[in-house]
Structure 1
Amino acid sequence: MPDEHLTEIRFGIYATPDDAARITEGCGAVLRESGVAHELSLTGPERTASAEDMPLTEVYDELPEQWRLQHSATDPGSRRIHEIRIGLATGHPESAPIRDALTRVICPDPEHPSPCPIPWSSSSEAAGERQYGHLLRR
């Protein structure tokens, strides 16, 4: 199958390790329910720069600042930047409802006053077979 049937969704979150694990577990439940072949991973702040990737602290540098603006007198404690990566074996348009459901794991109430309690951002793009091709063979 051509590459356009592979999509990667990335969520950057500024969260405690417990919140990052809880959100990742919730994303896993959404993905299992969707029935779409997928791969889910959680990367912590220790990810270092490689030829392909910038350090997470650079990719999501706005997230700690968002949190500090709302909690200026509070120590961030164990909050760090984490990234949830999801590979999907589905076309980009078909990934939109799944992405919406995943977003609700992070932000259950999209109508709440901004900002979110856990700062986050996301991106989605077509992915290549090198990283997620095994999903097409399931």
Structure 2
Amino acid sequence: MPPERLFEIQIGFYATEEDAAQLTEGWTRLLDGRAVPYQLSVARQENSAATPLAEYYEDLPRQWRFGHPEADPGSRRIHQVRVGLLASRPQMDVLRDELTRVICPDPEHNSPCAVPWESGYTDSEESADTTDDLNQRYGHLL
């Protein structure tokens, strides 16, 4: 089996607080069912459009407006779930795919997602700075 190391999976999404809570419950249930040490946290865009989170995921509100051209976005905001985990690279790849299926169960659908999202990950083997950062946040999982 490949060696385990720290990863952080990030999923940015444009949703209401209620949607964010439901998604977080789904992600937590999924992760609780796996034998992988993890820590899940959710960050939310504050009202200021100048927050780094809003800049990083600036395309998500546009995606929502594309699918809902005449609708008011209401209380939708940019959120980001971060999942720190201790896993092998193949385990992380499977978990990342499973986590994105919580927000988009059918990746082959023709229309935009009801909740626009993007995902990425950080690997502790990327650089010394990344290793230090992930160890600082998730070292307790080792």
Give the alignment's TM-score, normalised by structure 2. 0.85
Structure 1's 26 and 107: CA in aligned 2 closer, same or farther, altered over 3 A?
same
Equivalent residue in structure 1 for 2:92, among 75, 95, 112:
95
Would you say the 8 A contact 1:41–1:84 is kept in 2? yes
Q: How many Å separate the matches in 1 of 2:137 and 2:42? A: 15
Q: CA deviation at 1:114?
A: 3.0
Would you say the 8 A contact 1:92–1:125 is kept in 2? no
| 1:22 equivalent in alignment to 2:22 | yes
Would you say the 8 A contact 1:7–1:125 is kept in 2? yes
Structure 1's 68 and 105: CA in aligned 2 closer, same or farther, altered over 3 A?
same
| 1:45 equivalent in alignment to 2:42 | no
| 1:72 equivalent in alignment to 2:69 | yes
CA RMSD of aligned residues (A): 1.9
Q: How many Å separate the matches in 2 of 1:77 and 1:87? A: 31
Corresponding position of 1:131? 137
Corresponding position of 2:31? 31
Amino acid at match of 2:22: R
Q: CA deviation at 1:46?
A: 2.0
Could you tell me which runs of 5 or more consecutive residues in structure 1 were left unpaired when the two chains were aligned.
49-53
Q: CA deviation at 1:60?
A: 0.2
| 1:84 equivalent in alignment to 2:81 | yes
Question: Identity of aligned pairs, percent?
Answer: 51
Amino acid at match of 1:60: Y
Q: CA deviation at 1:47?
A: 9.0
Partner of 1:58, secondary structure, is: helix
Q: Which runs of 4+ in 1 moved over 6 A?
A: none
Could you tell me which runs of 5 or more consecutive residues in structure 2 were left unpaired when the two chains were aligned.
125-133
Q: How many Å separate the matches in 2 of 1:29 and 1:100? A: 15
Would you say the 8 A contact 1:47–1:56 is kept in 2? no
| 1:121 equivalent in alignment to 2:87 | no
